[in-house]
Amino acid sequence: MKTRIGEKPPYDLEERTYEFAFRVRLFLKQREWDPTSWTDVNQLLRSSGSVAANYIEAQEAVSDSDFTHRIRICRKETRESALWLRLLDDTNELSTAESGEVRRLLEEIHELTRIFTSIIRKREARP
């Protein structure tokens, strides 16, 4: 199930992380990037996909500690995605539409980071 830009994000976190990786890919396909940005583009592709892949792995965790570890990786990869996205934004002359999508992706990164942090805190607070 793909949502359209501007729609409310899905509550299913697996779908939401997929949608994040999908939106990153759509954003990157919109333009040809300068060779100096290729590394940032590649890293953003990898980290955004890793968020979704690690969330799937967390759902198949063999233990509570494995689950928490995978969620930590999700949070790390989400934050890394923000770094690469910000670098692309700051080092390229983006159109108004592209800048708007960067802002929306960064908002989603912020929300995903908060969700993953909440999951980790709740797991760590267990007796």
Per-residue pLDDT for 87 more than 70? yes
Number of compact structural domains in the chain: 1
How many angstroms separate the CA atoms of 109 and 93, rounded? 22
- Per-residue model confidence (pLDDT) at position 126: 82
Is 5 domain-assigned? no
Each residue's pLDDT tens digit, 46-84: 999 999 999 999 999 999 999 999 999 999 999 999 999
Report the mean per-residue pLDDT for the chain.
92
Q: Give the predicted TM-score (pTM) of the model.
A: 0.88
> What integer is the mean pLDDT of 16-22?
97
Is 53 domain-assigned? yes
User: Which domain range does residue 49 map to?
Assistant: 13-27+36-125
3-state secondary structure of 92: coil
How many angstroms separate the CA atoms of 2 and 121, rounded? 30
Is 84 domain-assigned? yes
Per-residue pLDDT for 5 more than 70? no
- Per-residue model confidence (pLDDT) at position 1: 44
Is 2 domain-assigned? no
Q: Is 98 exposed, middle or buried (0-12, 13-18, 19+ CB in 10 A)?
A: middle
End-to-end, the C-alpha distance of the chain in Å comes to: 37
Is 1 domain-assigned? no
CATH no. for residue 120? 1.20.1440.60
Is 93 domain-assigned? yes
Is 114 domain-assigned? yes
> What integer is the mean pLDDT of 102-124?
97
Under 8 Å between Cβ of 15 and 7: no
Is 117 domain-assigned? yes
Per-residue pLDDT for 11 more than 80? no
Each residue's pLDDT tens digit, 118-127: 999 999 888 7
